[in-house]
Amino acid sequence: MFDIERWQEIFDTIRKNKLRTFLTGLSVASGIFILVILLGFGQGMQNGIAKEFENDASNRIAVWTQVTTKAYKGLNPGRSIQMRNGNLNHIETRFSDQLEDRSGMFRVRNALVNYKKESVGYSVQGIHGGYQFIENQFISQGRYINYEDHRNVSKVAVISNTIKKEIFKDGTDPLGEYLDISGLKFKIVGVYGDMAGEREEERIFIPMSTAQRVFNGADRVNNLYFTLKPVENFEQAVAESMKFSKDMKSYLQEAHTVSPDDESAINVFNTLEEVKRFFNLITGIKMFFWFVGICTIIAGVVGVSNIMLIVVKERTREIGVRKALGAKPWSIVGMILHEAIFVTAISGFAGLIVSMGLLEIFGPYIEVDYILNPTVNFNVALTTVFVLIFAGAVAGFFPAWRAANIQVIDALRDE
Minimal distance in Å, beta carbon 21 to other proteins? Answer: 14
Among 382, 378, 368, smallest CA distance to 45 is for: 368
Q: Which is nearer to other proteins, 300 or 334 (CB)?
A: 334
Minimal distance in Å, beta carbon 3 to other proteins? Answer: 10
Q: Which is nearer to other proteins, 19 or 368 (CB)?
A: 19
Minimal distance in Å, beta carbon 284 to other proteins? Answer: 50
Q: Which is nearer to other proteins, 142 or 329 (CB)?
A: 329
Chain CA centroid to CA 109, Å = 36
Q: Which residues pair with 159 in a beta bridge?
A: 191
Q: Which is nearer to other proteins, 195 or 324 (CB)?
A: 324
Tell which positions 375-404 bind other proteins, by CB under 8 A: 404
Element containing residue 294 per DSSP (H, E): helix 271-314
End-to-end CA distance of the chain: 35
By the 8 A CB rule, do 141 and 172 touch?
Answer: no
Among 77, 60, 164, smallest CA distance to 122 is for: 164
Element containing residue 123 per DSSP (H, E): strand 123-127
Q: For residues 117 and 107, give the distance between their C-alpha atoms in angstroms, rounded to a whole number.
A: 23
Among 110, 138, 100, smallest CA distance to 225 is for: 100
Q: For residues 156 and 384, give the distance between their C-alpha atoms in angstroms, rounded to a whole number.
A: 58
Q: Does 18 bind other proteins (CB under 8 A)?
A: no
Size of the site for other proteins (CB under 8 A): 25
Q: Does 414 bind other proteins (CB under 8 A)?
A: yes
Q: For residues 131 and 135, give the distance between their C-alpha atoms in angstroms, rounded to a whole number.
A: 6
Minimal distance in Å, beta carbon 412 to other proteins? Answer: 6
Stretch that binds other proteins, among 5-13, 53-61, 101-109, 219-227 (CB under 8 A): 5-13
> 329: number of CA atoms within 13 Å, CB side?
8
Q: Does 12 bind other proteins (CB under 8 A)?
A: yes
Q: Which is nearer to other proteins, 368 or 409 (CB)?
A: 409
Q: Which is nearer to other proteins, 12 or 198 (CB)?
A: 12
Phi, psi of 293 (to 5 degrees): -60, -45
Minimal distance in Å, beta carbon 395 to other proteins? Answer: 23
Q: How many residues does the chain have?
A: 415
Phi-psi region of 36 (alpha: psi -120 to 50; beta: other; left: phi over 0): alpha
Q: Which is nearer to other proteins, 111 or 408 (CB)?
A: 408
Q: Which of 1, 2, 16, 261 binds other proteins (CB under 8 A)?
A: 16
Q: For residues 127 and 251, give the distance between their C-alpha atoms in angstroms, rounded to a whole number.
A: 22
Q: Which residues pair with 99 in a beta bridge?
A: 228
Q: Does 5 bind other proteins (CB under 8 A)?
A: yes
Q: Which is nearer to other proteins, 151 or 413 (CB)?
A: 413
Minimal distance in Å, beta carbon 385 to other proteins? Answer: 31
Tell which positions 312-351 bind other proteins, by CB under 8 A: 317-318, 320-331
Minimal distance in Å, beta carbon 405 to other proteins? Answer: 9
Q: Which residues bind other proteins (CB under 8 A)?
A: 4-5, 12-13, 16, 317-318, 320-331, 404, 407-409, 412, 414
